[in-house]
Each structure stands twice: as C-alpha cells, then as structure tokens.
C-alpha cells in the first residue's frame, strides 16, 4: 500500500487521503481472505511433502553454487526485450516440453506476456528505476504441472543434470535462479517454485520463467 501511495504522490503531488484509505481497506480485506486460503493450502502441501521439500532445498543449494549464470536480461529496453523473447520462445517451448515429457510430466506453454502488463510493471516503480527492462524475466514463460513436490523435484533434477552434462548436445538449459516459495510465500500467501532459465544456445541469454 505504501508503494501505491508513493507512486501517486510522486506523480500528482496531490492525493485525497480519504480515497486512499478506502482503497487500502478494500484491498486489505480481499487480500486477507485470499491469504488465508493460500496459507492453508501451502501448509497441507508442506506437511504431506516434507521429504521432497528437503531434497528440493538441497538441490537449490547445489544450483546456487554455480556463479556463472547471472539473473539479468541482456536487453534493458522494451523493444529489444520483446525481440529476444520472440526469438527464444519456440525453442524454449520445444526443449521444455521434451524435458518434462522425458520424466512423465506435462509442460504448459503460453503466449508471450502481454505488452500492457510489462509496461504496467516497469511504470509502477520509483522514478530512478522506471522503464528499465533488464529485470523483467517472465515475458517467455511456462508451467510444469505436478501432483506433488516429489514430481517438482524430479523436474528440477532433470534440468540440473542436463545443464551439467559433459555431452555438448545435451547442454540445453541453464538455471540462473530458483525461488522456493513453499518456504517463503509471498505477502499474499502464494507459494510455488519459480525457476529462471535461459537456453544455452541463445546468444541473447534471454531469461525465461518456469
């Protein structure tokens, strides 16, 4: 809420305090309801998948030891960012679909992130960060469908194994970042496992999100 207030203050210099308070109350009430649901679901997932969660934590530690993969887009402007994304997407979809199928899982592809959503993201920032695009990582994205954290671990392991093989044709994907939100849910209570990867054959090293 403080962020919303600071954006409005910066742009307009005038903001009706009563309107702001009303908006904050409405968002706070709805957010609290969703958060309770999300937290309850995550508690069940963690309770039923304790051993797999331990293995995932170990794997994330191993991944984080590789300092060669930097989480940053090579493009810092909107048009080049989308050019890189459009070039990377077909091969990203192909490789991720194959890797997930190899371990009996399903990869769901989706279209490039809508331009309006990215503009919204880079606009609603403090002035000194506004319009920068080198930390927008989800223009190319997809989702792996799993029934439990054991399957999530299986998918993460195949990606990790693939990027560390000595056989060049198999070095398809590089993991640059993993966030385990089952241990640290968002402020709204949402929990998942997010990975940022890029294709090793991609000269732009465009960061994608799974």
Q: Are 135 and 75 in contact, with CB atoms under 8 Å apart?
A: no
- Digitized pLDDT (tens) for each residue of the chain, 210 residues in all: 455 445 445 544 444 566 666 666 665 665 677 788 888 888 888 899 999 999 999 999 988 888 777 899 999 999 999 999 999 999 999 999 998 998 999 999 999 999 999 999 999 888 888 999 999 999 999 999 999 999 999 999 988 887 666 554 456 888 999 999 999 888 888 889 999 999 989 999 999 999
- The pLDDT score that the predictor gives to residue 172 is 83
- The pLDDT score that the predictor gives to residue 69 is 75
What distance in Å separates the CA atoms of residue 167 and residue 43, rounded to the nearest whole number? 40
Residue 48 lies inside a defined structural domain of this protein: yes
Partners of 175 in beta bridges: 197
Total domain count, the chain? 1
What distance in Å separates the CA atoms of residue 198 and residue 46, rounded to the nearest whole number? 29
| Structural domain harbouring 54 | 16-209
Residue 205 lies inside a defined structural domain of this protein: yes
Residue 9 lies inside a defined structural domain of this protein: no
Instruction: Please tell me whether residue 25 adopts helix, strand or coil conformation.
Output: helix
Residue 201 lies inside a defined structural domain of this protein: yes
- The pLDDT score that the predictor gives to residue 164 is 63
Q: Are 149 and 52 in contact, with CB atoms under 8 Å apart?
A: yes
Residue 80 lies inside a defined structural domain of this protein: yes
Residue 2 lies inside a defined structural domain of this protein: no
């Amino acid at each position: 809420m403080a962020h919303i207030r600071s954006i409005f203050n910066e742009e307009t210099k005038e903001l009706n305090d009563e309107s702001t308070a009303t908006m904050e109350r409405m968002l706070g009430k709805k957010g609290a309801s969703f958060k309770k649901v999300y937290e309850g679901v995550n508690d069940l997932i963690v309770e039923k998948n304790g051993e797999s969660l331990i293995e995932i934590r170990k794997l994330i530690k191993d991944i984080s030891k590789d300092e060669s993969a930097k989480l940053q887009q090579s493009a810092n402007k909107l048009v080049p960012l989308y050019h890189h994304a459009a070039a990377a997407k077909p091969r990203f979809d192909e490789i991720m679909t194959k890797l997930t199928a190899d371990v009996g899982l399903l990869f769901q592809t989706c279209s490039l992130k809508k331009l309006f959503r990215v503009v919204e993201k880079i606009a609603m920032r403090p002035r000194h960060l506004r319009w920068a695009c080198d930390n927008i990582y989800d223009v190319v994205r997809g989702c792996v469908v799993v029934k439990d954290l054991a399957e999530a671990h299986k998918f993460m392991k195949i990606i990790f194994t693939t990027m560390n093989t000595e056989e060049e044709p198999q070095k398809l994907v590089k993991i640059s970042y993993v966030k385990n939100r089952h241990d640290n849910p968002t402020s709204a209570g949402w929990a998942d496992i997010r990975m940022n990867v890029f294709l090793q054959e991609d000269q732009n090293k465009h960061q994608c999100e799974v």
